[in-house]
Structure 1
Amino acid sequence: MTYDLNDRTAVVTGAASGIGAEIALVLARSGAKVALLARRADRLTELAGKITADGGRAIAVAADVTGDLTAAVETVHAAFGRVDLVVNNAGVMLANPVTEGRDDEWRRMIDTNLKGLLNVTKAFTADLVGAGAAGAADLVNISSVGAHLTFPNYGVYTATKAAVTHLSANLRTEFGPLGVRVTNVEPGLVTSELADHMDNPDVDAHLAAWREQVPPLSPSDIGDVVGFATSRPKHVNLRQLVVLPTVQV
């Protein structure tokens, strides 16, 4: 699917693969200029080349959302000017019992899933507010249905996503009056690289069995939802979107 996003300028974090890459593809096909932001420069360059070959406009911006984003913002502005659409998609999912005391994993998830989202939002707040005064402006946060559910071994991950969902609701009270829409997207089971970084064989086996029972969504399904939400008329804000496989309950 494509939507009317002509003359829009987007930043998508976590764009090197999975949901982020598919969101970027949908936005670019819909006419937006897209800055692809992630750590893996080679993957970003490949995706930017694909978008350009298809007639779109994209740049690769290698950056870590947990660090200083000054240079990344300058790169985006130099290439495309003011940003009016930000998608906070970068995230990491690590699963182990809390009793294991894996504070290394806790730190990574909190830094990426929450602090990283805040860093990116802060970096482009002035852009969004300026854009919102003149036309459409969107802040999209990719949370998880886990924000509302309990899963053994995923306690810290789901806690970070609950924080994202609650933060999104509060951000809307601040950004909405300034003309900036805030949309919180909560996917259910999706095929992605999120699970590839876990190191607990029992958790991996459980997730694999779950995917056999519940065929997951594809990342392109989430990309389509983001394209739809951000292409609505300026006065329409789809603030909360839960996206599940039909058989997931």
Structure 2
Amino acid sequence: MSYPNLSGRTVVVTGAASGIGEALALQLAAEGARVALLARRADRLRALVERIRADGGEALAVAADVTDDASVDAARELVHTTFGAVDLVVNNAGVMLPNPVAEGRIDEWQRMLDTNVAGVLRIVRAFGADLVAAAAEGRSADLVNVSSIGAHIPFPNYAVYGATKAAVTHLSQSLRTEFGPRDVRVTNIEPGLTETELATHIDSAELSGQLDGMLEAVGTLSAAEVADVVVYATSRPRHVNLRQIVVLPTRQA
């Protein structure tokens, strides 16, 4: 299915080097959007940009770390210099580092908080004014935050990760009260089990094995299937806000 009203939009996608972010960049570019790809792995971004351009799309690789203020500020400047103001922002960058809270892994807690929560806020600070300006001109303007079903359903040993995603979900609700009256849509996406690189962040063989068993029993969504939900939501008429979307494999209760 094609969504013509995405053509000509200017998009920022964080966490674009793999998984949902990569799939979303490909789909949006195929719809005619100009896509700025933000992630830390510059080599992966360059390869993705080449792939998009080979298919006739427009893309920009922006090596950036959402946990670093200066890096995000520099990314904004590069995006503005190359593409101008943006009208669609997707906060997709995230890390998942499960371990029992009793282990006291402050390093992991801080990394998840910096990436999953503060990273979202840094991107909103960098590009929020663009969205407000686009909406004031009568154009569609979207902020999409990728949270997780873990925001609602607790999983043993995933307490801190779930808490960061609950923060994203609540933040999305609160931002809607600020941006909605200005005609900027805020959509919160909560995927269930999805085929991404998040599982590779796990440093516990036991927890990694448990996740593998769950994936085998329940199955997963593909990154492209979750990306398609984002594309659909942002392609609706500008007065329609699909505000909260939970997308799960059918077998995931």
TM-score normalised by L of structure 1 = 0.99
- 1:95 corresponds to which of 95, 98, 101: 98
8 A contact 1:2–1:26 mirrored in 2: no
Alignment map for 1:1-249 (pairs within 5 Å): 1-4=1-4, 5-67=6-68, 68=70, 69-134=72-137, 135-249=139-253
Runs (5+) with no aligned partner, structure 2? none
8 A contact 1:183–1:239 mirrored in 2: yes
The CA distance in 2 between the partners of 1:2 and 1:16, in whole Å, is: 24
SS of the counterpart of 2:62?
A: strand
The CA distance in 1 between the partners of 2:30 and 2:142, in whole Å, is: 18
8 A contact 1:3–1:231 mirrored in 2: yes
Share of identical aligned residues, percent? 65
The CA distance in 1 between the partners of 2:194 and 2:149, in whole Å, is: 11
Runs (5+) with no aligned partner, structure 1? none
RMSD across aligned positions (CA): 0.7
How far is 1:2 from its partner?
3.4
Write out per-residue CA displacement over residues 149-178 of structure 1, whole angstroms, 9 at most, x where no aligned residue. Answer: 110000000000000000000000000011
Question: How many residue pairs were aligned?
Answer: 249
SS of the counterpart of 2:97?
A: coil
Structure 1 letter corresponding to 2:40: R
8 A contact 1:172–1:181 mirrored in 2: yes
The CA distance in 1 between the partners of 2:157 and 2:210, in whole Å, is: 11
How far is 1:201 from its partner?
1.2
How far is 1:65 from its partner?
0.6
TM-score normalised by L of structure 2 = 0.97
8 A contact 1:2–1:227 mirrored in 2: no
Structure 1 letter corresponding to 2:205: P
How far is 1:6 from its partner?
1.1
Structure 1 letter corresponding to 2:191: P
SS of the counterpart of 2:196?
A: coil
Regions of 4+ moved over 6 Å: none
The CA distance in 2 between the partners of 1:152 and 1:78, in whole Å, is: 45
